[in-house]
Structure 1
């Protein structure tokens, strides 16, 4: 049985949500002989989670107009580098926008994911001045407050399939070299495939590209603390917050050649 532990702390001293649905069992896609099952799944644009922040006074017409401009820019520019950020407006109508795809995602899947995230966040957070939304392949965020380059350890989301429990030491020992590799490279992204007793683990770690190496490492330390607080950790789990994400599955879910 899968359980979700979601903690949205009121303390604003701590902040990505990774950047990744339907994880209770390996993906049930049925590609043809020539199709890559990972690509087939990613093209489904699977929605994971979102956080909507209420706006006390609602959204002004100018703010809504600026938000649409943010959305257009993000979806049009995301394919160039796999991430994009911009700001639009002045004074109280200023909006900051950020979008990023997983480091292994091809440009066309990346753009389609951000486009799907934009349409979904319009439904999930229709009158919110700030929101963040996670899909399996991408992450989108917009806010009335500047957040780029700031590590804020809060809003953690931990999902675990606890149908197959194991000792935490068995499930966590691989994390340290993985997150170190992610924090130390310019893409802030790393993957790992590791045979274990009776199964193979597939792991991914990523920070938002705007973070420094030190802040990326700090986010992963925060992630490890939150994961460690989960006393029913299964073989399949994911952690995400607005600044970083770690995913640990027992089936292939990422491309090995970005």
Structure 2
């Protein structure tokens, strides 16, 4: 066996384990809310019912084709209602891993609260002592935005594109049986805008549309990226692809030409790193290594976002 062939086989084996490791990262935590207005004791009936509920949610997370499941456990006055919703483009395996992780995480983040909502990038888990099934809720959410702005001469065009794209997404998602849709639109010849909108499927089409319109109206559209998440729906836009395009198909681009965008830095940002590898191996092996490094960095990259919790009634503190 030649030296190059040996290096190729060694690198391939390394890549298999490397990619497997990258795919096993914990779900990306975003936010949680668990007001302590109502609590339960460790050995109460509510605690027992909650554990049964979390087991039920976890066990059904890998078989839900819609990425959504709701149920209840126990009897009044200690009944617990619960649900999970996975992002519409993730696989059943990713959905399962996220829900199982969230079910365990909730007992750490909110150890004795009766009403809890946990948000991750891949899924949401929610339970309460009140009936939250088929419930339209704009409370207990979070808004996140990238601190970078567009230059003033391009900002108006960008805001118009964000609003038109997101409102179109709201209509498409509300008319979908899964209450989910994502798409991209051209901002310039070199830059696309990516958007996603989703509701819990237990909402009616009209309720979903209303929820998304309310959330879109509060998006920080002067920023280059933003998202708003509430229990009943979520909306997000970015200048990079943040969802699995293959899982939802490849919608036709909206044609819109403009010069390449220029950003203004407000003084906050993340760190960057470069990994260079020099190995005398076949081109295929080098390509595979590049893919693996890209996947790993994408999994671990954390964009610096500003964050504002939503007040009761779904209004931001500064609106």
TM-score, normalised relative to structure 2: 0.64
Instruction: Quote the residue 2:4 is aligned against.
Output: none
Unaligned runs of 5+ in 2: 1-13, 248-319
Matched, 1:86 2:77: no
Paired residues in the alignment total 222
Instruction: Quote the residue 2:197 is aligned against.
Output: 205
Alignment of 1:2-151 (within 5 A): 40=22, 43-56=25-38, 58-59=40-41, 61-81=44-64, 82-151=67-136
Computing the radius of gyration from Cα coordinates, the structure with the larger value is 2
Instruction: Quote the residue 1:177 is aligned against.
Output: 168
Unaligned runs of 5+ in 1: 1-31
Match among 125, 145, 153 for residue 138 of structure 2: 153
Tell whether the 8 Å contact from 2:196 to 2:235 is kept in structure 1 after alignment: yes
Instruction: Quote the residue 1:221 is aligned against.
Output: 213
Match among 215, 219, 223 for residue 234 of structure 1: 223
Instruction: Quote the residue 1:11 is aligned against.
Output: none
How far residue 241 of structure 1 moved from its aligned partner, in angstroms, is: 0.5
Higher normalized helix content (fraction of residues): 2
Distance, in Å, in 2 between the alignment partners of 1:34 and 1:201 is 33
Distance, in Å, in 1 between the alignment partners of 2:217 and 2:126 is 24
Distance, in Å, in 2 between the alignment partners of 1:220 and 1:144 is 26
How far residue 34 of structure 1 moved from its aligned partner, in angstroms, is: 8.0
Tell whether the 8 Å contact from 1:160 to 1:233 is kept in structure 2 after alignment: no
More relative contact order, 1 or 2 (CA 8 Å, 6+ apart): 1
Structure 1 residues 95 and 120: alpha-carbon distance in aligned structure 2, compared to 1, 3 A threshold: same
How far residue 33 of structure 1 moved from its aligned partner, in angstroms, is: 7.4
Tell whether the 8 Å contact from 1:156 to 1:226 is kept in structure 2 after alignment: no
Instruction: Compute the RMSD of aligned alpha carbons.
Output: 2.3
SS in 2 for 1:174: helix
Q: Which runs of structure 1 show a deviation greater than 4 angstroms over 4 or more consecutive aligned residues? A: 32-35, 39-43
SS in 1 for 2:32: strand
Distance, in Å, in 1 between the alignment partners of 2:79 and 2:45 is 9
Higher normalized strand content (fraction of residues): 1
How far residue 99 of structure 1 moved from its aligned partner, in angstroms, is: 0.6
Is 217-226 or 240-249 further displaced after alignment? Answer: 217-226
Instruction: Quote the residue 2:183 is aligned against.
Output: 192
